[in-house]
A and B are shown apart, each in its own frame.
Chain A
Amino acid sequence: MTGAPAGDTAPVAVDLRGWGWRHGGRHAWALRGVDLRLEPGERVLLLGPSGAGKSTLLTALAGLLDASSGGEQEGTLTLDGRPATEVRSRAGLVMQDPEAALVMARAGDDVAFGLENRGVPTEAIWQRVDEALHAVGFPYGRDAPTAALSGGEQQRLALAGIVALRPGLLLLDEVTANLDPDGAALVRAALAVVLDATGATAVVVEHRVEQVVDLVHRAVVLEPGGGVAEDGPPAEVFDQVGARLAARGVWVPGHRPLVRRRATSTTGPALVRADRTAFRYPAADRAALAATDLTLCAGEAVALTGPNGAGKSTLALCLAGLLRPTGGEVVPEPALDPPQPARPLWRWRGRDLVTRVGTVFQDPEHQLVASTVRRELLVGPRQAGASDAAAGQRADELLERLGLARLAAANPFTLSGGEKRRLSVATAIATAPRVVVTDEPTYGQDALTWAALAGLLADLRDGGCALLTVTHDEDLVDAIADRRVTLVRSTADQGSP
């Protein structure tokens, strides 16, 4: 081991006394009266409903909340007895979106970036880079281009970038929430190795509690605007308050949100059909989607599953009329009432498409176009030629149903992740399309939003929509799918769940 003196890398003791934080311009305190002590090397899972201030607390522990962020602090928050803002280098924060955390074009350079900034001598940098890449099980060399990595690989690289700095306190903010199950499992395995090897103190926030519960010694429940509500070994905390947490949106082991399954299974007429549909990007050496047949019928929910790179999202875009297939075609069936003259789906005008096929994108921000939540819901109906009165009525109805009514005048970009997701679904169904295509609608959502989304999708299906959902979420497949279609890297393999 070379570089910084041993005292600089030892596990950190964390101490909060009557600590609170209020964001600039807000009346309510995000957190208040938090008393919490973490011994060096302790690993804590931080729990609480959305809005309990979990991410705010992690940011504060990373020393990134200070007067310049425009908020107000009360009480004390110290690492080894010193204010966190003065010892930023002792803490390392890993966040949800790895793409936003990577800075350089090559893996090794990215890990080295933090070491350069910390003033680690040139001779020591590359040894520490290699150690960190090895510790997280990064499968490629230093020269691997960061843009070509999968989400799970990027997140392990982001973790390596932090581990190389040898923080005494590791802060993990939903690090597996945006990953597919395979990627999440690899990141969890890397975390287990890193935590054991470094012995660092750790604070973990994760929606899907069962994913990380084996990594921690202790669970702490935060109360929105309040302090610590529960504190103890995870199993005890779940026994005592598990049901109450689950009711407020926390994914607690053994408490799964319930979605009623439909009693009868009557499938209506075919609405749209992929016929040997294939797609290849220009100059790509492999097809993004191999020739695939798939028919979507009224009143049937199809779950599209399979590994990354099999072409699930590509097929969904083709069926939604948003991507021109490079092979085969997507055929609208008469029951969809296609506009005249007859054309393939990708050539339809937007306003013809919007009343027949609705699409929910993986990133809700991509489909936000208006300045307020309510106006966002007027866009589609107006494009389709609805009267202002009819569009307004539909918008208010949807706002009420999706629990967004109190946010009607808010800017869509200021909403929370769960609210943005519900809004993006609302925009897609505002024009009452017969076919609804969704891409990973439940990524990173808490259990309440999850149940609301699953319920909404089930309602659409029961109301006679053809539903296509691209997902890695097995709970969602169980809850709503009538049929599962699994894409592999060459052909579609159809079956039932």
Chain B
Amino acid sequence: MSVLVPLAPDPDAALSRRNPVAKLTAAGIVTVAMLVSLDPVTPAVLLVIEAAAMPFSGVRLGTLLRRSWPLLLGIGGVVVANLVAVQGGEVLVEIGPVDVTTEAVESAAAVALRLLALTLPGIVVLAATDPMDLADALVQRWRVPARFAYGALAALRLLPLLSADWHMIGRARRARGLDAGWSPVGRLRAFTGQVFAVLVAAVRRGVRLAAAMDARGFATTGVERTIARPQPMQPADWALVAGTAAAVALAVAVSVALGTWRPPFG
């Protein structure tokens, strides 16, 4: 649950103050570069640049690790799978029946570096973006329908309440004698019952939220909605996009010059 709850970004950090759609575009450029570069050198150069830019994000390393541990775990899994499954080249280590070969190490390193270089900007951008700013920018710059953007934003606010509901409903069910006991069947039944109760509570909250938004004239036909918080693209926002493109180009150029760059086809 905590992974979904938005962080409160440091409002004074350089990255926090940039337009959210500029940040999304920058993260998108990195994604495209990582999709077309299969070698380990391009992501390695990009990771060095990303690490150098981290202080401008206002996101602390500890927060980042706490936030992204499920992802790091996943990357670790992919690395292990590559080490075990890929065969070819010289055998480096034998662990029981498994041979770890030079090609396996190369492949695992390339995958790990690409995944890290790909996901780091996405996580940092989300952590350094206020959800309200994101919704505003999506509506104003990318013409995302207000009904969708602000509806999703308001629903996001319900997540912590849902977590509180979960605990309170668990206690209330125990007070009715409906706790798990020791048997696995009993546990499963109690869990399903509690999930259902929380879903019912969530739907009721959602309905009430929709009614509250309607009552204040949300999505009324015939009225042009205005903007309380303008989100213009400023020179610094364009600079962020251009800088990211330049960094990506540099990484690819280094790899090409070293003769290591490898596109997906060819």
Contacts and interface: CB of A to CB of B under 8 A. Distances in A.
Given A103-B213, A365-B201, A320 B175 contact: yes
Interface string B170-201: 01111111110100000000000100010001
B131 interface: yes
Interface of A: 62, 64, 88-89, 93, 97, 99-106, 109, 112-122, 125-126, 129, 146-147, 161-162, 165, 317, 320, 322-323, 349-351, 353-354, 357-359, 361, 363, 365-367, 369, 379-380, 383-384, 427-428, 431
A309 to B, nearest CB: 16
A360 B172 CA distance: 9
- The A interface is mostly helix, strand or loop, or mixed, namely helix
Nearest to A433: B175
A369 B216 contact: no
A141 to B, nearest CB: 13
Contacts of B1: none
Interface string B106-142: 0000000000000000000000000110000000000
Contacts, number: 138
Interface stretch (B23-31, B51-59, B89-97, B223-231): B223-231
A366 B168 contact: yes
Q: Which 3 A-B pairs have the closest CB atoms?
A: A383-B177, A354-B177, A350-B179
A351 B186 CA distance: 13
B169 interface: yes
B212 interface: yes
A400 B226 CA distance: 56
26 contacts: A62-B215, A100-B205, A100-B209, A103-B209, A103-B213, A103-B216, A109-B132, A109-B229, A112-B228, A114-B217, A115-B226, A116-B228, A117-B216, A117-B217, A117-B220, A119-B226, A121-B226, A146-B157, A162-B216, A320-B175, A322-B174, A323-B171, A350-B174, A365-B204, A366-B165, A383-B178
B160 interface: yes
Given A103-B157, A105-B131, 6 more contacts: A104-B153, A113-B228, A349-B179, A353-B175, A353-B177, A366-B172
B238 interface: no
B154 interface: yes
- Of the listed residues B174, B177, B219, the one surrounded by the most CB atoms of chain A closer than 10 A to its CB is B177
A369 B174 CA distance: 11
Contacts of B226: 115-116, 119-122, 125
Interface of B: 131-132, 150, 153-154, 157, 160-161, 165, 168-169, 171-179, 181, 193, 197, 201, 204-205, 208-209, 211-213, 215-220, 223-230
Contact of A369 (B173, B215, B227): B173
A129 B176 CA distance: 46
A64 B215 contact: yes
A105 B157 contact: yes
A379 B176 contact: yes
Contacts of A353: 174-175, 177
B264 to A, nearest CB: 42
A361 B167 CA distance: 13
A359 B175 contact: yes
A93 B208 CA distance: 14
B172 A100 contact: no
Contacts of A428: 175
A117 B197 CA distance: 34
Contacts of A120: 226
A112 B230 CA distance: 13
Nearest to B132: A109
